[in-house]
Structure 1
């Protein structure tokens, strides 16, 4: 697969029509259609079935550490503001008890191929807490020697000593929040982080042996201009991380009230916002990075790039991956598990979560039971989102007649190519791959509070 340098030309009419609220499809069906009628009992039954039916299949584990010292005004994550790591002790105790409950339901199925600590800020925890949490996981689950063990870090609060401990415990991959390195933009989003802090943390991670080091960037933030963004891109490229995620800013103040603090008049939209993504695309691909999925970039020898070249890339709530565990088990508030055809999510309330766990119950708040048709459509959407290609099979005309009709409309606009039962997303279509995937979404409703496509 050749490196893509030229960003596809997008005319204003197409952008105006397709830049609408649309899911990112980290799950299908998407979270807004999940219901509270699927709760603890269904969750427990799914874990038990998964343990009995697939005792040797490895698991993917997600642990949510919700704590942050302060709330950034752009943030869309589920966080708890606290000043001292001591505030996390009760929560960590609940996490361990939740692991006991889940491990008991899984029975002998304890092998793990992927672990991800997200937040919040996992390195809000002190070293005693970090080691204690890891020990709790390692005592209850068997982490494979080649497992991907990843952590999200904030360079502003993470020390080299913490990083060294994480590496010693077995963490081998990390994702670093950067967002933007321009001082005016950082002031607008209430997140001050110097380029030197970022570079020093990257150097430390490399010296310690972390691989697949990722930077998270966001375009569409207030006060971003093509000139300021180009400077950020130059600084990032000078640091040369292994991977980069370049997310479109999801402005959803109706869901995240903290975003109401942002200077609304200074947010780029439409053509101006797409121009920022174009600059990132051309800067990164021009330096040899391969575009991955809808908004990631990786070095050509990175396993993500190699998997996408083979059309073997996959994706779950932890992001793009080459390790497709059949079941994802999540711990902590808002954690989303994907087990035996069932999506379940823990509640948002720290107090209610801890109360449920103390009582020996799962903290499930809502979920969704996937039908066979949901599973079929999820596989199609995943292939589109990850590998830009899918074969709909011999029965495509019968099963997806209306979808094929809509796809031919997109084909006329240059977004896809349809050859028999095979669908391929074009370079132009990659920019709007969420729109392409939405063709197969049987639940999509325009009034849902999704972020925009661009």
Structure 2
């Protein structure tokens, strides 16, 4: 029995792969690398810019993101001061650069007040030279932290996409994942977002919560469509180490695959196009223009504690934690850093040629599919010779080859969270398995 065959006999929900290698494969660099050396060989004509705001009003029971709940204002102010020092030092290292996309995530960027939001946009525009009004800009928001004034600021500063994690329109379901959310507040926030005129609204829903059924999931989907979102993401619930649900360690029936199929089929019947296992796009969604960010590509400048940056040879970030004390300590250390210290890259992953090829193959496969000619042009090799294991996908009905490439079938798409981890290199798999969660 092959490893894939063994995994296919187990849960299809192994891990969500939105980047490769996973952050649990990052380790300290000894000695640290200079920022200039890390970016020396990277093109600077169409970089992607990301600011991380590691604060939320609360931590949901399923969340393992790098964020601290309910920070005091002096902590936020100290963080923004360090973010400015880091941005200025990164600008010094990058030199002349232009940016094709901008995103603010977290955490919840709209936990910041109006002055804080303007501060982040000023760093992007005035320090780094990005032009938010002429490139796609996406911002994560939450029902508890948006108001009319903040939304006006986001729109005036160039934001054309807002994303909100609703998770469910049934209060008992979100309460089961320790999210004390009122549906009336969600609906009021969505009405406010729509009235502000953002071209793209994305809503996230979760399936697999305690007490959820296909009927209740369809109810949330129908409620979602009342707001005509241009994008919808459907996320399976994961119970991760050190989260509230992870500590609870509840044994529950795994209905996620049937719930996924219920949601997928419904959205397809409503005219949405499936882009990936998680993402669905409406017919009325605008063409954002410019290059679409794809994780296969490099040139990601991540700023802030918890943000990741990608160059061809090096991925790096601050250290990662989930536990509240450890997160607070990492944020405090970040906030105390000097401008000079931001010139050192101390934690991340070096990608050799094999890992670069694997990253491109894997993330292409989980999106639009592996283009044989694109792989050949980039690496001077054939993807099926570099990764013959891909032929197993076809043998199991999970992939389909044609003259141009290899793409996942519907059965393969719904097993993306199994196929991704299956394709990890032995080295990355070993590092991730040795990672000590904290």
Q: 1:434 to 1:183 in 2, by over 3 A?
A: closer
Q: Indicate conservation of the 8 Å contact 1:85/1:124, yes or no.
A: no
Q: Deviations over 1:407-437 (max 9, x none)?
A: 3433232111234783221111111134445
Q: 1:373 to 1:185 in 2, by over 3 A?
A: same
Q: Measure the CA separation in 2 of the matches of 1:399 and 1:97.
A: 42
Unaligned 5+ segments in structure 1 are: 1-12, 317-323
Match of 1:259 in 2: 245
Q: 1:29 to 1:189 in 2, by over 3 A?
A: closer
**Correspondence 1:342 to 2:339:** no
Matched position secondary structure for 1:41: strand
Match of 1:16 in 2: 9
Q: 355, 358, 362: which is aligned to 2:336?
A: 355
Q: Indicate conservation of the 8 Å contact 1:63/1:117, yes or no.
A: yes
Q: How does 1:279-318 map to 2 (within 5 A)?
A: 279-302=262-285, 315-316=294-295
Q: Measure the CA separation in 2 of the matches of 1:261 and 1:229.
A: 25
TM-score under structure 2 length normalisation: 0.85
**Correspondence 1:105 to 2:98:** no
Q: Measure the CA separation in 2 of the matches of 1:47 and 1:78.
A: 25
Q: 1:399 to 1:196 in 2, by over 3 A?
A: closer
Q: Deviations over 1:331-362 (max 9, x none)?
A: 11121000243101113401221223355434
Unaligned 5+ segments in structure 2 are: 1-5, 321-329
Q: 224, 227, 234: which is aligned to 2:222?
A: 234
**Correspondence 1:137 to 2:137:** no
Q: 193, 203, 207: which is aligned to 1:215?
A: 203
**Correspondence 1:274 to 2:257:** yes
Q: Measure the CA separation in 2 of the matches of 1:233 and 1:347.
A: 36
Bigger shift: 243-252 or 368-377?
368-377
**Correspondence 1:46 to 2:32:** no
Match of 2:20 in 1: 28
Match of 1:58 in 2: 46
Matched position secondary structure for 1:17: coil
Match of 2:3 in 1: none
CA positional deviation for 1:116: 1.0
Q: 59, 63, 76: which is aligned to 1:88?
A: 76
Q: Measure the CA separation in 2 of the matches of 1:59 and 1:29.
A: 20
Matched position secondary structure for 2:357: helix
CA positional deviation for 1:157: 2.0
Q: 1:313 to 1:432 in 2, by over 3 A?
A: farther
Q: Measure the CA separation in 2 of the matches of 1:306 and 1:279.
A: 32
Q: Measure the CA separation in 2 of the matches of 1:339 and 1:31.
A: 15
Q: 1:47 to 1:424 in 2, by over 3 A?
A: closer
Q: Indicate conservation of the 8 Å contact 1:113/1:325, yes or no.
A: no
Q: How does 1:65-84 map to 2 (within 5 A)?
A: 65-84=53-72
Q: Measure the CA separation in 2 of the matches of 1:49 and 1:229.
A: 47
Output the aligned Cα RMSD. Answer: 3.2
Q: 425, 429, 433: which is aligned to 1:445?
A: 429
Match of 2:325 in 1: none
Q: Deviations over 1:8-58 (max 9, x none)?
A: xxxxx9863362524x333223333332126742444113443xxx34x12
Number of aligned residue pairs: 416
Match of 1:422 in 2: 405
TM-score under structure 1 length normalisation: 0.82
Q: Measure the CA separation in 2 of the matches of 1:173 and 1:305.
A: 9
Match of 1:204 in 2: 192
**Correspondence 1:387 to 2:364:** no
**Correspondence 1:372 to 2:353:** yes
Q: 303, 316, 329: which is aligned to 1:331?
A: 303
Matched position secondary structure for 2:217: helix
**Correspondence 1:125 to 2:112:** yes
Q: Measure the CA separation in 2 of the matches of 1:46 and 1:447.
A: 22
Q: Measure the CA separation in 2 of the matches of 1:368 and 1:427.
A: 33
